[in-house]
Structures are given as structure tokens and as C-alpha cells.
């Protein structure tokens, strides 16, 4: 999925003639902490709620104040992973989109990114999760897939994370079944360490909720 397919139809841009208070009101309505400032088609930068609180008088037009605006953006044809990377790195609540002529085209909301990522990752598909703790040197995707498929299950998606300077990795498998015990027993027979598993609806809801809240805290929203 590309950036141009994710542009929000609800968030409006600010002008230099708009007041800081107007920006805060819009942020509250859209539940975001940034807004783009645009002059015709030119993207001038993002203003944050913290920037506005630092102004001497939020009732004055934004253009009356000396601003140090950041100018992050993605192009229309950039992949959703590029958008997510930029949002996470700069802890943004939205990401501006420009065309190849540097003309402003709109913004992508982080909430929409999370929803699309869930769709792409099969998170909404029925099934369970198994989390493995593996030494990096022992990781074999072919063996993991063989173990899962030998129990008449399919890997819908796979996520890998590893702490810095660690020799171990956490492998999260999303399977197409909630009947996880045969798969877990096979992993244990092959001496894999099963850290956690989530099979029933309540467990899955709690897992997704925890991951979502962790992601939002990371973005500092």
C-alpha cells in the first residue's frame, strides 16, 4: 500500500493567518498533536500542541510568532512501511504527503496506519498466536513452517524482534487456527522454547490491546 492511498479526508491544514487556539481546537477534535501549515501548495512545516503552548499569545495568528517548524514528509508513491518508520522515529501523530513537485497533498493519520497495518498483517483474521524464544543462530524459517504445517495449520504472518546486543530473538507466529496445543507440543518436542500463546478470543483481544497500547506509548501520543 502506498502513501497516496492513505491520505486522510478529514484533517485540514492550517494557514499562517490561523490562530494557535484554532489549531488546538482542531487537534482536540481530530485527537492529534500535530497539524501541517500550508501556504497555497507549499508545505511550511508541522506545528505541535507543545509549540502552541509555548507561544506568548495563542489568540494571535500563527504567522505573528517566530516558529521553528519541522518539515517531515513522504512522497505519494512511498510504501506504508516508510510512513510508519517516519512516524515512529519522530513520534508524529500524522505524516504530511507531498508530490514530486513538493506540493502538499494531505496527511496520513497514525491511527489509520495502525488499522492498515493490522489488515496487512492478518491480525483481524481468526486464529491464534504462538511466541517463541530462539537463539539467532538456531532460527530456521523452513523448520518452523514445517512444524506448523505438519499439524495441518498455516502461518498467516510472522514477526521477529530482538533486543539490541542480544543473541536471542522473539518470533511471533499468527496461525489460522485456535487449536494451538498440537503445534505447541511439536515445538517443544523439537526443543523450541514457547514463551506464550494466545488462542481464545479473550486472550487475543488482550494481546492486541497490549500491543496497540505499547505502540501508541512508543509514539508518545
Give residue-wise pLDDT tens across range 74-114.
999 999 889 988 998 999 999 999 999 999 999 999 988 88
Residues 107, 21: one domain?
Answer: yes
Residues 10, 108: one domain?
Answer: yes
Give residues with Cβ within 8 angstroms of 182, minimum separation 6. Answer: 151
| CATH number of 75's domain | 3.10.580.10
In angstroms, the first-to-last Cα distance of the chain is 24
Residues 130, 108: one domain?
Answer: no
pLDDT for the residue numbered 218: 53
Per the structure, how many domains does the chain have?
Answer: 2
Residues 105, 200: one domain?
Answer: no
Domain end (from 93, 118, 143): 118
* Global pTM value: 0.66
By the 8 A CB rule, do 77 and 3 touch?
Answer: yes
Task: Give percent of the chain with pLDDT exceeding 90.
Answer: 58
pLDDT for the residue numbered 69: 85
pLDDT for the residue numbered 157: 87
Strands across the sheet with 74-75, in order? 74-75, 94-98, 104-109
| CATH number of 203's domain | 3.30.70.260
Domain end (from 101, 118, 135): 118
Residues 162, 83: one domain?
Answer: no
Residues 56, 32: one domain?
Answer: yes
Give residues with Cβ within 8 angstroms of 162, minimum separation 6. Answer: 136, 168, 169, 170
Residues 114, 173: one domain?
Answer: no
Please report where in the chains the cell 478470543 appears, as a residue. Answer: 201
Residues 98, 155: one domain?
Answer: no
Domain limits at 202?
Answer: 124-219
Residues 57, 140: one domain?
Answer: no
129 is written with which cell numbers? 498466536
Residues 89, 139: one domain?
Answer: no
Domain end (from 90, 118, 146): 118
Identify any residues that bridge with 2 across adjacent strands, giving them in sequence order: 79
With a cut of 70, list the residues of the chain below it in pLDDT.
Answer: 120-124, 200-221
As a whole number of angstroms, the longest Cα–Cα distance in the chain is: 69
Residues 93, 142: one domain?
Answer: no
With residue 44 as reference, give the H or E element that holds it: strand 42-48
Residues 14, 102: one domain?
Answer: yes
Report the distance separating Cα 30 and Cα 27, nearest Å. Answer: 5
DSSP 63: G
Task: Go through 138-151 and write b for each residue having 16 or more CB atoms within 10 A of its CB, e for each that does not.
Answer: eeeeeebeebbeeb
Amino acid at each position: 500500500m502506498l502513501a497516496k492511498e492513505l491520505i486522510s479526508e478529514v484533517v485540514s491544514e492550517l494557514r499562517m493567518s490561523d490562530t494557535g487556539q484554532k489549531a488546538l481546537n482542531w487537534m482536540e477534535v481530530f485527537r492529534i498533536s500535530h497539524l501541517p501549515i500550508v501556504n497555497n501548495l507549499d508545505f511550511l512545516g508541522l506545528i505541535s500542541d507543545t509549540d502552541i503552548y509555548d507561544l506568548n499569545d495563542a489568540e494571535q495568528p500563527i504567522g505573528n510568532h517566530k516558529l521553528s517548524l519541522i518539515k517531515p514528509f513522504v512522497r505519494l508513491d512511498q510504501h506504508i512501511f516508510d510512513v510508519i518508520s517516519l512516524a515512529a522515529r519522530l513520534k508524529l501523530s500524522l505524516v504530511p504527503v507531498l508530490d514530486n513537485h513538493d506540493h502538499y497533498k494531505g496527511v496520513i493519520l497514525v491511527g489509520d496506519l495502525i488499522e492498515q497495518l493490522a489488515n496487512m498483517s492478518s491480525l483481524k483474521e481468526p486464529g491464534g498466536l504462538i511466541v517463541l524464544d530462539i537463539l539467532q543462530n538456531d532460527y530456521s524459517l523452513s523448520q518452523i513452517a514445517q512444524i506448523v504445517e505438519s499439524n495441518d495449520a498455516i502461518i498467516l504472518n510472522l514477526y521477529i524482534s530482538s533486543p539490541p546486543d542480544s543473541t536471542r530473538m522473539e518470533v511471533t507466529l499468527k496461525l489460522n487456527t485456535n487449536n494451538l496445543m498440537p503445534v505447541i507440543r511439536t515445538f517443544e518436542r523439537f526443543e523450541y522454547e514457547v514463551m506464550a500463546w494466545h488462542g481464545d478470543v479473550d486472550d487475543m483481544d488482550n494481546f492486541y490491546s497490549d500491543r496497540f497500547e505499547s505502540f501508541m506509548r512508543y509514539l508518545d501520543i
